[in-house]
Amino acid sequence: MRAAAFEHFASATCTIAMRIVERRTWSRAGVNIHEYQGKALFKEEGVAVQDGVHCTTVEQALEAYDTLGSKVVAVKSQIHAGGRGKGSLYCPDTGDLMMKGGVKIAFSREEVETYAKNILGNVLVTKQSGPEGKMVNNLYIEAGCEIAHEYYLAILVDREEDAILVMASTEGGMDIEEVAEKTPEAIHKAWADSSGQLPSGAASTMAASLGLTGVSQDSFTDMLGRLVSMFVSRDCSMIEINPLVRSSDGSMIALDSKVSFDDNASFRHPWRAEMRDMSEEEEVEVRANKSGLSYVKLEGNIGCLVNGAGLAMASMDVIKLYGGEPANFLDIGGGANKESITTAFGIILEDPHVEGILVNIFGGIIRCDMVARSIIDASREVGLSVPLVVRFSGTNHVEGRGVLEESSLEVTTVGTLADGAEAIVAAIEEVRA
């Protein structure tokens, strides 16, 4: 079994990582902002966008329509999830369907009012939001645009190439994953160096690959240069525009914006704090972060308490390989103390699906005997009632195991991660039986 575990370790790691990325819109490694906020940044960088107004009430939406002076406007839900246009809006109290589509084109003041009423205060469910959806508290009213063609444009970090990747396609407005699967030749790529410089002629070549000529080609190359510069200067982790449109006069306009930042660089950008929408964040994750914990809820039944992100990933992998399902990613960090460990236990046990807990600690800076005493105190405080398996290694691991074994706490101590995963899966099965 253990040979098989290590044989499949790499693929399992990838699977878990993707689940975490898909589950967590906001993370300590990447922070999202709303479309209207992204477009405000685009404007500052000289990237062409349509005039628009951020609104939080129906009355503001109507005022925006009057102010914009455009007969046709887009009424756009603002949530941190993609696929808004194809989503569905539900009443949060009754669950009744209010409207199909979280992005609507309005041709009159009356339609703006109707759409705004059906969007604000309701829950928008998209393929990226999860079945629970997201409450819509913000709206963006944007002037209409005469569209000649829609394109896709994205800038992100290519970790395999250790470079900034630019991707573009003529298939704008579509799911890029579907395009990549069915017509990969329709996606054109270029790489920039760490200073944000594309190779000479790369932007023009990409424009030509998209079939752009003349004014459109010039407009695209200028926009791309500005966006790559923004990506570097503002420490972005992703910029996505879907669709990027060619207007009737040939100019290129960012008709959408999806921007996320590298949160590790937030200390360089204090202005980001003003853009943070706390209503879009999971309350439990916010609480965990305040205690110095990195937490992501998953769909399984085995709570994980680990120090170190890599070790946490490995712990979840091995749990899966022994037939279990991790209920969370939880990294307590190297500076954990009694208070943060107590908080961690409480957060894990708040999840009604948790049937057992695996603690995996590698003592470096952190001492295993301190963790052991904290586990005992935390278990008493939160009223631990599910099986607990603990694996210690490193600094004072012998002393830590001794503290647990001499206590009155019902706990199983093991020497290896594989033993721990096997033990917690078996313990849960025994309780069920």
Q: What is the CATH number of the domain that holds 232?
A: 3.30.470.20
**pLDDT at res. 334:** 78
- The answer to the question of residue 101 being in a domain is yes
Q: Which of 144, 159, 191 is the last residue of a domain?
A: 144
Residues 138 and 151 occupy one common structural domain: no
Q: Percent of the chain at pLDDT above 90? A: 70
142, 150, 171, 240: the catalytic one is 240
- The answer to the question of residue 72 being in a domain is yes
Residues 396 and 307 occupy one common structural domain: yes
- The answer to the question of residue 216 being in a domain is yes
For 157, the domain range is 146-268
Is residue 152 annotated as part of the catalytic site, yes or no?
A: yes
Q: What are the φ/ψ torsions at residue 129 (nearest 5 degrees)?
A: -85, -15
Mean pLDDT of 53-80: 97
Residues 173 and 100 occupy one common structural domain: no
**pLDDT value at 228 more than 90:** yes
Tell me the residue type at 56.
Answer: T
Alpha helix (H) residue ranges in 151-209 = 176-182, 202-209
Mean pLDDT of 203-228: 97
CA quadruple 13, 15, 17, 18: dihedral, nearest 10:
160
Place 117 in a pLDDT band, splitting at 50, 70 and 90: very high
Residue with tokens 């963006």: 140
Rg over alpha carbons for the chain, rounded to the nearest Å, is 25
C-alpha of 318 from chain center: 24
- The answer to the question of residue 43 being in a domain is no
**pLDDT at res. 32:** 92
Nearest to 324 by CA among 426, 413, 433, 419: 426
DSSP string, 193-245: -TTSPPPTTHHHHHHHHTT--HHHHHHHHHHHHHHHHHHHHTTEEEEEEEEEE
Residues 243 and 223 occupy one common structural domain: yes
Is residue 140 annotated as part of the catalytic site, yes or no?
A: no
CATH code for position 342: 3.40.50.261
Q: Percent of the chain at pLDDT above 70? A: 93
128 contacts 82 by C-beta, under 8 angstroms = yes
Element containing residue 31 per DSSP (H, E):
strand 31-32
pLDDT digits (tens, 9 = 90+) for 345-365: 999 998 999 999 999 999 888
Gap between the Cα atoms of 37 and 276, Å rounded: 10
Residues 208 and 111 occupy one common structural domain: no
Residues 228 and 292 occupy one common structural domain: no
Residues 296 and 428 occupy one common structural domain: yes
Place 174 in a pLDDT band, splitting at 50, 70 and 90: low
Residues 256 and 323 occupy one common structural domain: no
152, 280, 322, 422: the catalytic one is 152
- The answer to the question of residue 12 being in a domain is yes
Q: Which of 89, 113, 144 is the last residue of a domain?
A: 144
Residues 102 and 173 occupy one common structural domain: no
Residues 307 and 373 occupy one common structural domain: yes
Please give the sequence-ordered ranges of beta strands (E in DSSP) within 58-146, or none if there are none.
Answer: 73-78, 88-90, 97-100, 103-106, 123-125, 134-135, 138-143
Residues 379 and 302 occupy one common structural domain: yes
Mean pLDDT of 310-328: 95
Q: Which of 243, 268, 293 is the last residue of a domain?
A: 268
- The answer to the question of residue 46 being in a domain is no
Q: Which of 20-24, 75-79, 122-126 has the lowest mean pLDDT?
A: 20-24
Mean pLDDT of 195-216: 94
- The answer to the question of residue 88 being in a domain is yes
Please count the other Cβ atoms lying within 10 Å of the Cβ belonging to residue 6.
12
CATH code for position 121: 3.30.1490.20
Q: What is the mean pLDDT of the chain?
A: 89
My answer on whether omega of the bond before 326 falls inside 30° of 0, hence cis, is: no
Residues 289 and 410 occupy one common structural domain: yes
- The answer to the question of residue 226 being in a domain is yes
Tell me the residue type at 205.
Answer: T
Task: Pick the more confident residue, 175 or 118.
Answer: 118
Number of domains the chain contains: 3
Please count the other Cβ atoms lying within 10 Å of the Cβ belonging to residue 160.
7
Q: Which structure tokens are listed for 267?
A: 């200390």
